[in-house]
Amino acid sequence: MTTQLEHFLKFYKSVESPGYAVFVTGKWGTGKTFQVKQYFSSSEHWYVSLFGLASPNEIHSAILSKVDPKLELARSVATTLATTSEKIGGLLAVGSVLPDLANNILRRELKPCRVLVLDDLERTSLKMKDLLGIINEYVEHKKFRVVLIGNDKELPKKFKRIKEKVIGKTIHVEPQVAEALRIFISQEKDKRTVEFLNSHKDLVFRLFSQSGTPSLRILRQVVQDLGRLCSILDDKYVNNCAAMRDLLSIFVSMDTEFRSGRLSSRDLRMRTMTRLKFAMSFNQRENENGKPPAIVVSERKYELVNFQSDIVSDTVLLDMLVHGRYVQKNIENMLDESSHFLSADDLPPWKVVIKFDTLDDASVDSGMRRMREQFENRSVLDPGELLHIFSLMMLMADNNTFEHTVAEIADECIEYIDELLEENLLPPLASDLRMPNELYESHDGHGYWVMPAYKAQFERVKAHLTSARDAALERILPTWADELRELAANDGRRFYDKLCRNHGGERPYSRVPVLKYINPEAFVEAWLNGQRESWRHISWALDERYRDGDFPDSLSEERPWAVEVGRRLRARAEGLGGYRGVRVLRVVPTSLSK
Summarised one tens digit per residue, pLDDT across range 259-299 is 999 999 999 988 877 877 776 554 444 455 567 899 999 99
Is residue 475 within 8 Å of 424, Cβ to Cβ? yes
Q: Which residue has the higher pLDDT, 178 or 434?
A: 178
| Sign of the Cα pseudo-torsion (528, 530, 535, 541, in order) | negative
Instruction: Return the pLDDT at 108.
Output: 57
So what's the pLDDT on residue 555? 83
- Classify the phi-psi angles of 290: left when phi > 0, otherwise alpha if psi is within -120 to 50, otherwise beta: left
Q: Let me know: does 250 contact 317? Beta carbons within 8 Å.
A: yes
At 34 the pLDDT is 85
Predicted confidence (pLDDT) per residue in 496-547, tens digit: 888 876 544 446 687 788 999 999 999 999 999 988 888 999 999 898 888 7
Amino acid 86: pLDDT: 47
CA atoms within 13 A of residue 35's CA, in its CB half-sphere: 31
**Mean pLDDT to the nearest integer, 180-192:** 92
Bridge partners of 24, per DSSP, are 149, 171
Does 410 score more than 90 pLDDT? yes
The pLDDT, as a whole number, for residue 534 is 86
As a whole number, mean pLDDT of residues 108-124 equals 85
Q: Is the pLDDT of residue 238 over 90?
A: yes
Give the containing element (helix H, strand E) for 204: helix 201-211
Q: How far apart are CA 546 and CA 569, in angstroms?
A: 16
Task: Grade residue 431 by pLDDT with cuts at 50, 70 and 90.
Answer: very low
Judge whether 169 and 8 are in contact, CB under 8 Å: yes
Is 589 a residue whose pLDDT tops 80? Answer: yes
Question: Is the model more confident about 438 or about 189?
Answer: 189
Interior angle at CA 423, CA 417 and CA 429, nearest 5 = 55
For residue 297, the model assigns a pLDDT of 92
Helical axes 177-186 vs 191-199, angle rounded to 10°: 150
CA distances from 132 to 122, 136, 140, 146, 416 (A): 12, 6, 11, 12, 79
Where residue 454 falls among pLDDT bands split at 50, 70, 90?
Answer: very high
* 39-98 per-position pLDDT tens digit: 888 889 999 999 988 888 888 888 887 877 655 554 455 455 444 444 444 433 333 334
Amino acid at 525: E
Average pLDDT over residues 379-395: 95
- Determine what percent of the chain is predicted with pLDDT higher than 70: 86
Which pLDDT band holds residue 467 (cuts at 50, 70, 90)?
Answer: very high
Can you give the pLDDT at residue 13? 87
Give residue 34's region: left, alpha or beta (phi > 0; psi -120 to 50). Answer: alpha
- Under the banding of pLDDT at 50, 70 and 90, the label for residue 149 is very high
Q: Which residue pairs, CB below 8 angstroms and at least 24 apart, start in 72-80?
A: 74/101, 74/102, 74/105, 77/101
What is the rounded distance in angstroms from the CA atom of residue 133 to the CA atom of residue 56? 9
Average pLDDT, rounded, for the chain: 84
Q: Are strands 45-49 and 115-119 parallel, antiparallel or unpaired?
A: parallel
Q: What is the pLDDT of residue 99?
A: 53
Percentage of the chain lying above the pLDDT 90 cut: 44
Quote the pLDDT of residue 438: 44
Highest mean predicted confidence (pLDDT) among 24-38, 104-118, 429-443: 24-38
- pLDDT for the residue 419: 96
pLDDT at 107 over 50: no
Q: Locate all alpha helices (DSSP H) within 271-405, ordered by sequence.
A: 271-280, 294-299, 314-321, 328-336, 349-353, 361-377, 383-398
Candidates 532, 542, 546, 547; CA nearest to 583 is: 532
> 109 versus 367: which is more confidently predicted?
367
Question: What DSSP string describes 90-142?
Answer: S-S-HHHHHHHHHHHHHHHH----SEEEEE-GGG--S-HHHHHHHHHIIIIIS
- Greater confidence (185 vs 112) lies with 185
- State the Cα torsion 39-40-46-47 to the nearest 10°: 20
Residue 220: how many CB atoms within 10 A of its CB? 18
